[in-house]
Amino acid sequence: MRSCWSLKFVSLIIGVVACCAFHVHAQYSLPNEVPVGKASDLPPYLFPINPGSANFLAGTMGELRSTHFHAGIDVRTNSMIGAPVLATQQGYISRIIVGAYGYGHAVIITHPDGNSSLYGHLDKFKGPVAAHVLKEHYVRKSFDLDLNFTPEQFPVQRGDTIGLSGNTGGSAGPHLHFEIRDSNNFALNPLAFGFTEIKDVLPPFAIRVALTTMDINSRINDRFGRFEFNLVKSGNSYILPHPIFANGKIGIELLAHDRIDRSQFRHGINYIELLADSVSIFTQEISQINFEESYDITALMDFKSLKTRGLRFNKLYVSDGNPLSLFKNVKNQGIVSVHEGLNKMQIRLRDFSGNETFVKFSLKQDPSTNQVSFLEASVKPIDFDLQENTMTVNSKVCANKKTTAQLYTSGTVQEIGATYSGLTKNVFLLDVRKTIPDSIRTCSGTLTFQYKGRIPSGTDYSFYSDWFDVEFRKGNLYDTLLLNTDYEFSANRERFTIGNLLTPMHQRIKVTLKPKQSYPLPEKTSVYHLEGKRYEYLGGQWLNGKVEFETHELGDFTLAVDTIAPSIRRIYCTKNSARFRIGDNLSGISSFEANINGEWLLMIYDYKTGIIQSERLDKGKLLKGKFELKVTDRAGNQRVYQQVIL
């Protein structure tokens, strides 16, 4: 029986399940039911939890999640499991999903108007389909199920109880995840269906704006880079009380959330519009979600802020390579060209209920200068950052006040002057489209770079080195990548550096590592992505001393040997039920299987707690005799628990 994959893949599985198109039989009719094409004759959609009573949400459609757009609404169940979940409209159950991740236990109903509805994170199924699903577990000898049905098998009426709410799959707490999708498998906003159970009179609120220089000649307060500004509430608006001095081309980002009555959660904003001097230059509207684009949310947010601080800044410009289709009336990619005088900026935020908030601030043109009075001090003697095509080198001012540096490129050296300076720091800006530096030396120290070339996003490109080979396919990258590589062996472990963790990826790339060290147990040696002190399992296939794998993240990779079997902790194992907690120290659990007297026994798994719980096909049959539970990790290590139940 397949079970959970390790936590590394939770968000991936959520995305995979979400993106799988539901099998929808658009043309059907049931006895005494409304035929297709007569949607106007259907009764209104029914709210799936406690219809007619006030309900509250923990999540809204279109919210920016770390790896995807939230495709439905999360209906709160007062932190309880077991609330009856009702069919929102007549139709038939067309699909059932059971798994440890993603939606967990989920029901999909297809309706006569061509729409389908999804009910996720259920604790139990109800009605005739429940017995069928349990039987299918035993027929297939699998906890994971993905079942499709015809219109005649499990018809449902509006208001039928199809399940009980729960906390299965990738849920962070008990609730119902509810979606409505059209015949093209686009997620629609459930709140557009006139549910009066949800009240919302609160407008969105804004926290910060971020301004980003879009080329090497642009400046914000005389500096190059990305800078955040805290907003101040003024009446019904959020403002910056003083103009921001700027020059050149500027990109604007916004950190903001929506609020809903009697909810402590932060929700997504459906409509954002940016106006420059009263002219609309960027509009983002999330009225539906195309699941084929959902993972591209990484191109919408400032990826560095997301990865390092967990903050979801919404870009109000279309960055290069962004494939999303939710933008309208975009002029010059939404980038602001600062002109003379005062540039009045306004951001209009509107939630689905029509509540509005405005963010207002001004940019004042200020010519560039090479002397910056209020330039923050460097933490390190010398460091650097890379933003798009521009490298920023920061160097502390030395006693000799020298403002030049030696730039080494392809065996040549040239002296360059600081682009601008302050009392304690010199800043050098380099256009990496023109030259890729090998190193740079200032009076404060030397930086050595490991850049090996530019990887285009629009074509296939194969990179070869002594340490690894990488296959980039067209579309793997959002934009051209300046690839840095490195290899290190320390503390008896190899570390392979391929690019930067803070670079968003559009699609997976194929990597072949060429280890320099010997691994006597290749079958138990796997590739792991390193993020801080966390090892994230990627696996890999060994062939002729090399290991091949795929990844959707850049950064540091290593090889680690897992020879420790998973853990099994007995909670109870009686004739009525068996309950255990399982776990693994490194590679993660691959599978588990239980049997009683040699007969397969279903174990329901919750990866969040590590709990597995038995469920018999015959509820009246006791667990008596020889019980056995096998748990296997991804490295093939296996732990077996045995007990004779009297």
* pLDDT by 10-residue block (mean), the chain, 646 residues: 37 41 41 47 94 93 91 94 97 97 96 97 96 97 97 97 96 95 94 93 96 97 97 95 96 96 85 97 95 92 95 96 93 96 96 95 94 87 94 94 93 95 95 93 95 93 96 94 95 95 95 96 97 93 97 97 97 97 96 97 96 94 96 97 96
Q: Which amino acid is at 397?
A: V
Which stretches of 57-185 are DSSP H helices? 128-140
The distance in angstroms from the start CA to the end CA of the chain is: 26
CA distance linking residue 302 with residue 254, whole number of Å: 10
Q: Contact at 8 Å (CB) between 105 and 98? A: yes
Q: Contact at 8 Å (CB) between 496 and 490? A: no
Q: Contact at 8 Å (CB) between 24 and 110? A: yes
524 secondary structure, DSSP code: G
CA distance linking residue 240 with residue 208, whole number of Å: 9
Nearest residue to 13 via CA among 112, 144, 108, 114: 144
Provide, for the chain, the percentages of residues in helix, strand and coil under a 3-state DSSP scheme, each rounded to the nearest 5.
10, 45, 45
Between strands 226-230 and 205-213, the pairing is: antiparallel
Beta bridge partners of 274: 282, 347
Q: Rounded to 5 degrees, what angle do the CA atoms 226, 227, 230 make? A: 150
Q: Which amino acid is at 229?
A: F
Between strands 356-365 and 244-247, the pairing is: parallel
CA distance linking residue 44 with residue 573, whole number of Å: 48
Place of tokens 């015959």: 618
Output phi, psi for 54, to 5 deg: -65, 130
Q: Contact at 8 Å (CB) between 214 and 224? A: no
- Structure confidence at residue 33 (pLDDT): 44
CA distance linking residue 496 with residue 627, whole number of Å: 45
Q: Report the 10 Å Cβ neighbour count for 642.
A: 9
Q: Which two tokens stand for residue 320?
A: 């290069």
CA distance linking residue 24 with residue 461, whole number of Å: 39
> Cα–Cα distances in Å, from 79 out to 175, 244, 313, 321, 474?
7, 45, 29, 41, 45
Nearest residue to 188 via CA among 64, 317, 73, 267: 73
CA distance linking residue 572 with residue 495, whole number of Å: 43
Beta bridge partners of 107: 96, 119
Q: Has this prediction a pTM greater than 0.75?
A: yes
- Is the C-alpha dihedral spanning 169, 156, 190, 112 positive or negative? positive
CA distance linking residue 409 with residue 452, whole number of Å: 12
Nearest residue to 496 via CA among 561, 559, 586, 587: 559
CA distance linking residue 632 with residue 523, whole number of Å: 14
Q: Which two tokens stand for residue 503?
A: 């670079």
Length, in residues, of the chain: 646
Q: Which two tokens stand for residue 551?
A: 């990844």
CA 398 to chain centroid, in Å, comes to 44
Q: How many CA atoms within 13 Å lie on the side-chain side of 194?
A: 4
- Structure confidence at residue 38 (pLDDT): 52
For residue 47, count CB atoms less than 10 angstroms from its CB and return exposed for 0-12, middle for 13-18, buried for 19 or more: buried
Q: Contact at 8 Å (CB) between 222 and 372? A: yes
- Structure confidence at residue 373 (pLDDT): 85
- Structure confidence at residue 261 (pLDDT): 79
CA 406 to chain centroid, in Å, comes to 41
CA distance linking residue 231 with residue 244, whole number of Å: 12
CA distance linking residue 316 with residue 607, whole number of Å: 37
- Structure confidence at residue 26 (pLDDT): 37
DSSP labels, 154-219: SEE-TT-EEEEEB--TT-SSSEEEEEEE-TT-EEE-GGGG--TT----PPPEEEEEEEEE-STT-E
Place of tokens 């030397």: 446
Q: Contact at 8 Å (CB) between 104 and 166? A: yes
Taking every pair of Cα atoms in the chain, the longest distance, rounded to a whole number of angstroms, is 91
User: Using CA atoms in the order 222, 228, 232, 235, what is the torsion angle rounded to 10 degrees?
Assistant: 100
- Structure confidence at residue 379 (pLDDT): 82
> Cα–Cα distances in Å, from 367 out to 133, 341, 370, 372, 473?
69, 11, 10, 12, 42
Sorted by sequence, the CB contacts under 8 Å of residue 490 that are 6+ apart come out as: none
- Structure confidence at residue 16 (pLDDT): 39
Sorted by sequence, the CB contacts under 8 Å of residue 602 that are 6+ apart come out as: 134, 137, 138, 143, 594, 614, 615, 616, 617
Between strands 356-365 and 237-239, the pairing is: parallel
- Structure confidence at residue 523 (pLDDT): 95
Q: Where are the beta strands (DSSP E) in 196-313?
A: 205-213, 219-220, 226-230, 232-234, 237-239, 244-247, 249-257, 271-276, 279-285, 288-290
Nearest residue to 137 via CA among 108, 105, 111, 112: 105
- Structure confidence at residue 231 (pLDDT): 98
